[in-house]
Amino acid sequence: MYISWHAVPKDTKKCMWEYINSKFLIPVEGKKWVMTGLRDAWTRYKQKIKERCFNKNSTIEDMLAKRPDDMPEGQFHQLIEYWKQPNCSSKAKIDLCEMNSQNRKK
């Protein structure tokens, strides 16, 4: 499981584009739109998994017991480890935004 859409290899994204083109007739000009849709769908999927399965106060074993059936245990374990990192929280992102805002004022 890739932590961010930017980490997904270009070859994988190319395969996604080719698969979609095998099902639908989309001109090359629509590729950016399709890829943005895939990125957004992937992000929503991860968000739903986090809402349903992740609790920072639970043990890893408890969270693994809630693993979605369509996700391999190893990938889910990686996501849990990532979500448990302090710099992954919403507060950390807000603090970073505030720091960036202050730096721009300098």
Number of neighbours of residue 50 by Cβ within 10 angstroms: 15
The dihedral built from the CA positions of residue 21, 25, 30 and 36, taken in this order, carries a sign that is negative
Q: What is the pLDDT of residues 2-45, one digit of tens each?
A: 878 898 999 999 999 999 999 999 999 999 999 999 999 999 99
pLDDT at position 88 is 76
Asked if residue 34 and residue 65 are part of one domain, the reply reads no
Q: Nearest CA to 8 among 43, 47, 34?
A: 43
In a domain, 37, yes or no: yes
Asked if residue 99 and residue 68 are part of one domain, the reply reads yes
Q: What is the pLDDT of residues 49-105, one digit of tens each?
A: 999 999 989 999 999 999 999 999 998 999 999 999 888 765 545 555 666 677 777
Domain range spanning residue 16? 8-53
**Distance of alpha carbon 52 from alpha carbon 80, whole angstroms:** 12
* pTM score: 0.70
